[in-house]
Amino acid sequence: MLKPNCRVSLKKEDVDFISRCVGMKPGDVKGIMRLLDDEEHGQDIIDTLLDKEEVVDRMFEDPHSNNQEIFTESPAFFFYVSTRTVFKSIGITSKTAADYVASVLLEFRKHKRMYRVSDGDDREYMYLADLVEAANKEEPFKRYLTITHLGHYSLFISGFFPESIERRTQPEHWRNSPGLRYYEALGSSAFWLASQHRLAKQADLTETLALLSNQFQLARLALNDLSQNYFEMERA
């Protein structure tokens, strides 16, 4: 079950980068690393450091080249800072929501993971309609995984490949494919249904999933900004 894990996955190299950006002393790095294990007080301080303009400016001073090493070596760090940046710019202020979506992006880097409901699932879903059909047939736990994946997949595809979606709706295209509104409607509904599930409550995700449902279009536009201005992805 996917959870917002990017902020708690920081490595020493990430902390070194942050410390250089904000002018910390070398000895401060050990203290920051200890904060990662302090669930009560540490996260607020880590969040403050991750929001520093110096960190964002340094990471994206040349969006299409200088951040490639961070993207490759520290993807959790990269995805959180970049997602948090575009979310804030469009009015989504929740750190947990940014972390959750960043965790989705991190998962979808894995081979064919975007087509599978979970890491251990061999079945691949290429179309949203197939996910909807599968969700209606599953037992409660698998249903929750399938519904949330429907939200993840809808947000990812519509956020990173909106031009491809719209192109396939044109009359000259061989398929009568749905447009962006379809992805937004299904994705928003999926996140809402997931937010009402008891497993979301147990994982403390009710508020985050409900927010992504209510602000799905904004989240999609933020990911479009992320794709266009922070790193390149091969277009479908």
Let me know whether 88 and 115 are in one domain.
no
25 contacts 223 by C-beta, under 8 angstroms: no
The two structure tokens encoding residue 152 = 């993840």
pLDDT at 203 over 70: yes
pLDDT at 236 over 80: no
130 domain residue, yes or no: yes
pLDDT band at 27 (very low <50, low <70, confident <90, very high): low
Let me know whether 125 and 11 are in one domain.
no
Best CA proximity match to 197, nearest among 151, 133, 161: 151
Give the chain's domain count: 2
158 domain residue, yes or no: yes
CA 191 to chain centre: 13
Q: Return the number of other C-beta atoms located less than 10 Å from residue 233's C-beta.
A: 10
Tell me 8's DSSP state: G
133 domain residue, yes or no: yes
- pLDDT for 217 equals 97
219 domain residue, yes or no: yes
Q: What is the mean pLDDT of residues 167-173?
A: 68
- pLDDT for 222 equals 97
- Per-residue pLDDT of 116-158, as tens digits, reads 998 888 888 888 888 999 888 888 899 999 999 999 999 999 9
67 contacts 230 by C-beta, under 8 angstroms: yes
Q: What is the mean pLDDT of residues 157-175?
A: 78
82: three-class secondary structure by DSSP: helix
Long-range contacts of 13-21, Cβ-Cβ distance < 8 Å, separation of 24 or more: 13/73, 13/74, 14/74, 14/77, 17/55, 17/58, 17/59, 17/70, 17/74, 17/77, 18/49, 18/50, 18/52, 18/55, 20/58, 21/52, 21/54, 21/55, 21/57, 21/58
Let me know whether 152 and 124 are in one domain.
yes
Let me know whether 119 and 53 are in one domain.
no
Let me know whether 76 and 184 are in one domain.
no
Which contiguous run of DSSP H or E holds residue 176? none
Let me know whether 124 and 236 are in one domain.
yes
Which contiguous run of DSSP H or E holds residue 224? helix 216-229
Let me know whether 114 and 88 are in one domain.
no
Q: How many whole angstroms separate alpha carbon 159 and alpha carbon 136?
A: 25
pLDDT band at 30 (very low <50, low <70, confident <90, very high): confident
101 domain residue, yes or no: no
100 domain residue, yes or no: no
The two structure tokens encoding residue 220 = 């999609």
Let me know whether 112 and 186 are in one domain.
yes
14 domain residue, yes or no: yes
Q: Choose the final residue of a domain: 92, 118, 141.
A: 92
Let me know whether 61 and 114 are in one domain.
no
- Structural domain of residue 119, as residue ranges? 108-236
The two structure tokens encoding residue 45 = 């301080």
pTM > 0.95: yes or no? no
Q: Choose the final residue of a domain: 92, 117, 136.
A: 92
Let me know whether 128 and 224 are in one domain.
yes
Q: Choose the final residue of a domain: 92, 120, 144.
A: 92
What are the backbone dihedrals phi and psi of residue 165, each rounded to the nearest 5 degrees, phi first? -60, -50
pLDDT band at 59 (very low <50, low <70, confident <90, very high): confident
Let me know whether 16 and 81 are in one domain.
yes
Residue type, 126: M
Let me know whether 84 and 116 are in one domain.
no
- Per-residue pLDDT of 61-119, as tens digits, reads 755 445 667 777 889 999 999 999 999 999 999 999 999 999 999 999 887 889 899 88
| Alpha-helix runs per DSSP H in 126-179 | 128-135, 140-160, 162-167
98 domain residue, yes or no: no
